[in-house]
A and B are shown apart, each in its own frame.
Chain A
Amino acid sequence: VNVALDRSRGRTVLYIDGNLQFDSLDERIYHESLVLPALSMASRPRRVLICGGGDGLALREVLRFPGIEHVDLVDYSPEVLGMAANELSELNGHSLADPRVSVHCADAWRFLEEAKGTYELIVCDFTFPTSEEEATVFANEWYERLKTLLSEGGTVAINGVSPERTPGAFACLVRTVRSAGFAVTPYRVCIPSFREAGYGCWGFLIAAKHRTDLTVLSELACPVETLQADLPALSRGARFCRAYRKAMREAPIHSLANPALLPLLQPIQQSPVDPPGLEELIRSIPAQHPYHTHEMIEELARQVCGTIASIDLKRLLDEIWKRVAELPARLREELARLREYVQSHLFQRGDLQEWSSRLFAALLIVMTLANSLAPDNAFGKGAHGIGHSSFSRGFAGEGAMHGSFASHPPYAEPSAISGSGFRSSFGQTPVDIYGQPYRSRTYFYYHSSYYDGGYYGGGGYGGGAYGGGGYGNGPQNQQSNGNPDTHQALFVADDDLLVMDNGDVVITLSDDGFLLVQGDHLALMSQASTKPITELYLQPTLLEAVRQQILDQQATARGEIGTRRDWLSWVGWTESLFPQVRQDQVELTNLRTLDRKLSSCLNNLGQAKPGDPLDVPSDRVEMFVGGYLAPDLSIELYDPSGKKTSYNPSRLSKENPALAKVIRSVLTKMSSELQADVKSNDHDLQQLDQDEASTNRDLAEYNQIYASNGYDPSYTVDYGTDEIYVTDAIARTNQDLADIAQQRAQLQTDRTNAVTDQTRMSLALDQLAL
């Protein structure tokens, strides 16, 4: 055994085989934490056995405890025992000379074989095992032997290994002691000198024949005052996360036949370029942009830390030092101080990893804030390019159709303009509130005064450039008293809602049909027909929904007008110098035009006719407002007076081909959407099954933990990121299961309804096709 005692710098530090044993500055944390909890938990301790611990420091703590009558100290190293009796005698309080102490310089195994009687406390204060021979005193057989020497109320205090640097070995040790029939309470303590030496926090175990748990540690009543250890805080160090506990259940048992401990004692080697302890921070950075992946952030982390870690500051300073004579005197002094600091402080605490981690943590915080404030600009990527995060607003472009506009979900929060539609194409093509331009659409129809005159008067409808190619039908069947007006779609208020340049509102249903709202009139229009197919009952809810939608959009537009007005109040006078400012002026003008048009639209909307909303039976499938599919597959349309007209789908193609075509296109579209809904429901149900299975596994685990700890409700377990009582965890998991069952019932109901509706639509479509 290579024993070295360092007494420099006013401290006493003992090394055995190069491993730090103690540092006089904080050795009491170690020895008090090792001995006093176990002594306090033992029942009336009188006889104590200390295996290892030849330095006499654990012995010192034992002798401080009241009621101790006899202590056997066994250590196989005469050098250490000699040192304890001489150089370390002051530090250990001359404990070896105490008349109650019997010192045995012997092999611990042999001593145990010959030992007689029982002990109330056995302290295993062995050195860190570096060979199979040294590891035998950590084996299952060793603890089984200790058990025979332990009194019924006695305890065993075991010096473990580092749960931080060698978690596998610590778990192995815990399981090994348990396998010998002991109840084990593992805990860890932070010892500064150990941490400085790179050992991390240090682990201890208390083994007892009787049951022990965290509450015993938290309610520990130690009659001896500690000088350095914080015994009331020990219970905090005894809480291990789920991964640790799982490891303690699954780790191999170290025995003489199966020496599993030694391989697990290889400390965890961290890659020099991996940022230590930053994984959670990296994961917490929001990836708000399609380009911002966590892989990218991790790569950035590796590069930053790798670059910093690759700087050999010590060598750099040495190289500069060689040319120090060329430097001015003051600079020489400063350099000397820096060199001294780097050599005496920086590298004693480790390499530059720690510093690079700190720097990287600061960088990540800055990036997180920047990314939250300006997702498009973070990571120095520039402001241009595709994939604006603002596109993630869920705007479907066009074509989506809702069965009932009145049941449309609340509109999304108004967002800022990010497109260029108001600068370039407003007035020529429709633009949405985000400034996104759409394909141009032209409609031909008569003003609603024709309706007021009691006839439709033959409407002309055509798409000038709709869909790129344009329908090109032109007005047909025009009345002699005038041509239909041509109207451009000006503003896309919603997926299906268009505001025309004259303030009318168009609700698109499918490629073949749309609803036209003019004042208090609602007409079903066909793309293929030049006149309205029929006038429909205008539900107050529809009118109110359209009004609210437009009001929301107008509020957003006014907000945008305000921001641009403020901006231009500063820079507007430079428009002759900068084209960008000119474009801003154009945009402001167009936004003001939109605001006026939306006001005009709201004024035009009129009021719904007095009367209750239609009382439509709940078994109808709503195709559009005022149009329903009955269970007998008849098509029901409600006219403005609320009178219902039923059409037989099998005869509709002959009786009213235009209506049949529109209904067919609407049903086809709805059917495909319902099909997608069913698939989505199926996927959600599958996901719920997985969630339920996972939750059931958690519940079983909590129940098992609860049972294995004697149904102690105060035992804590990990629940997500929290550590809560096991009973609470069980209650919450049961609640999760109930929620899952409720979600499943709702999903199944939705799915059944969707399938029923889809079946009805398919049958109606079949009849329409006949």
Chain B
Amino acid sequence: MAQVPQPNQELAVAHACAERGDFDQAFHHLEIAALQGVNPGRIARERVWIESIQRSHDRARAEHLALVVAIPFLGYLFLSVAEPPAYGTVVWAGLAFLLVPVVSGFALSRVLAGFTRTALFLRGFGIVGGAMACYTVFNIVLTRTRIAEAIDPGALFMIGGTVVLAFAIGAGLVAGVFSMVFARKVSA
């Protein structure tokens, strides 16, 4: 027969969950403890403590997330040193569509441990896709301005838009998928 957890045990589990960063579980165990008759004042104190842990945890996560966002931007900034033909098309494609998104996806999965796979995918897609879009826009504009021949602005917008969209989606998908692959589930 399974042993029913005692109220104090529930509080200990809530503590452990909070220290691990699994705050949903921590609050869940706190509610169970309340139902088991733990003093409401104690419950309130514990809630405040868990919330403070959660806030500091969120702050740290936000700082780490900023670093993760910087990875693809720095990667593409580095790639901007030369145009794709200087790297060789295959090497450039490998760097831009594989290395940078994979590294970014990995870092994201570490920082956002505990997030659902969908959330990780969307964040990875957004961050790396955005960085790739910036990289592409800047380079397309710069390379085009080096050509003196006039081009219809509408056509340029369409061409540039297509390329930016396609490249951003490509890199974003790779980053999103790899952030899911590297996702580390937080166990209770």
Contacts and interface: CB of A to CB of B under 8 A. Distances in A.
A87 B170 CA distance: 83
Nearest to B89: A569
A574 B83 contact: no
B152 A570 contact: no
> How big is chain B's contact interface, by range?
20 to 34
Interface in A394-443: 415-420, 435
Contact of B147 (A384, A415, A567): A567
A640 B43 CA distance: 111
A570 B84 contact: yes
Given A563-B143, A566-B83, A390 B162 contact: no
B122 to A, nearest CB: 27
Interface in A515-551: none
Nearest to B163: A571
Interface stretch (B34-42, B99-107, B108-116, B153-161): B153-161
Given A571-B140, A580-B155, A390 B147 contact: no
Given A383-B153, A569-B85, A570-B136, A564 B147 contact: yes
A574 B159 contact: yes
B155 A578 contact: yes
Between A383, A564, A566, the greatest number of chain B beta carbons within 10 A of the residue's beta carbon is seen for A566
Nearest to B82: A566
A577 B148 contact: no
Contacts of B143: 563, 566-567, 570
B83 A383 contact: no
A390 B148 contact: yes
Interface string A218-233: 0000000000000000
Contact of A435 (B144, B149, B152, B160): B149
B45 interface: no
A561 B152 CA distance: 21
Given A574-B159, A581-B159, A569 B151 contact: no
Interface string A576-620: 011011000000000000000000000000000000000000000
Contacts of A419: 149
Interface string A557-575: 0000001111101110010
B150 A416 contact: no
A496 interface: no
- Interface SS majority for chain B: helix
B76 to A, nearest CB: 13
Between B149, B155, B163, the greatest number of chain A beta carbons within 10 A of the residue's beta carbon is seen for B149
Contacts of A574: 159, 162-163
> How big is chain A's contact interface, by range?
20 to 34
B84 A420 contact: no
Interface string A355-378: 000000000000000000000100
Given A574-B159, A577-B162, A566 B153 contact: no
Contacts of A577: 162
B8 interface: no
A577 B146 CA distance: 23
A567 B150 CA distance: 14
Interface in B81-98: 83-85, 89, 92
A383 B146 contact: no
A435 B150 CA distance: 12
Contacts of A567: 140, 143-144, 146-147
Contact of A578 (B148, B149, B159): B159
Contact of B84 (A569, A578, A581): A569
Nearest to A566: B83
Given A574-B162, A578-B155, A376 B84 contact: no
B139 interface: yes
Nearest to B151: A580
B148 A416 contact: yes
B85 A417 contact: no
A384 B163 CA distance: 25
A294 to B, nearest CB: 25
A490 B64 CA distance: 61
A385 to B, nearest CB: 9
A668 B130 CA distance: 68
A567 B83 CA distance: 9
A570 B163 contact: yes
Nearest to A567: B143
A392 to B, nearest CB: 13
A565 B85 contact: yes
B157 to A, nearest CB: 11
Nearest to B156: A580
Contacts of A581: 159
Nearest to B142: A566
A655 to B, nearest CB: 52
B162 A420 contact: no
Nearest to B160: A571
A381 to B, nearest CB: 12
Contacts of B153: 383
Interface in B58-91: 83-85, 89
Contacts of B147: 416-417, 563-564, 567
A383 B149 CA distance: 9
Contacts of B83: 566, 569
Nearest to A578: B159
A390 B149 CA distance: 10
A577 B162 CA distance: 10
Given A566-B85, A571-B140, A580 B159 contact: yes
Nearest to B155: A580
B89 A384 contact: no
B155 A376 contact: no
B166 to A, nearest CB: 8
Contacts of B92: 569
11 contacts: A376-B150, A383-B151, A383-B153, A416-B146, A417-B149, A420-B149, A563-B147, A567-B146, A569-B92, A574-B163, A580-B151
- Ordered nearest first, which 5 A-B pairs have the shortest CB separation? A416-B148, A383-B150, A566-B83, A569-B84, A563-B146
Given A418-B149, A569-B84, A570-B163, 20 more contacts: A383-B150, A383-B153, A415-B148, A416-B149, A419-B149, A420-B149, A563-B146, A566-B85, A566-B143, A566-B146, A567-B140, A567-B143, A570-B84, A570-B139, A571-B159, A577-B162, A578-B155, A578-B158, A580-B151, A581-B159
